[in-house]
Amino acid sequence: ISLKIKIMADRYFKKEDFVEDRNMYRVEFKMDDIGEGVDLVIERKNESGEYEVIQADMTRHNDSLFLYWSEPFDGRIVSDEYKTL
């Protein structure tokens, strides 16, 4: 038996990727790049260069996922989904 599993790679983004949207800032990701039904974790890069988990607002619309925060930041989206074969 052979199983193929598509593992999502981390998706990095920069402050410059955010656009202002109703007193918040948002960054858009395509669902094809992230995957559907995957538990996502948002991490923000701090001053020392380490990543810390944050509770950001996320919405899905059509084929996109939008991440909202009060100010732009450098960060990444990582998958919290682990599979055992």
What single letter denotes the amino acid at residue 51?
Answer: Y
pTM: 0.77
Q: Distance (Å, rounded) from C-alpha 73 to C-alpha 62?
A: 25
Task: List the beta bridge partners of residue 60.
Answer: 65
Task: List the beta bridge partners of residue 53.
Answer: 43
Using alpha carbons only, what angle is made at residue 26 by residues 38 and 23, rounded to the nearest 5 degrees?
140
The pLDDT of residue 15: 96
- Tens digits of residue pLDDT in 14-39: 999 999 998 999 999 988 777 665 67
Higher pLDDT, 21 or 84: 21
Specify the DSSP class assigned to residue 17. Answer: G
List phi, psi (to 5°) of 12: -90, 150
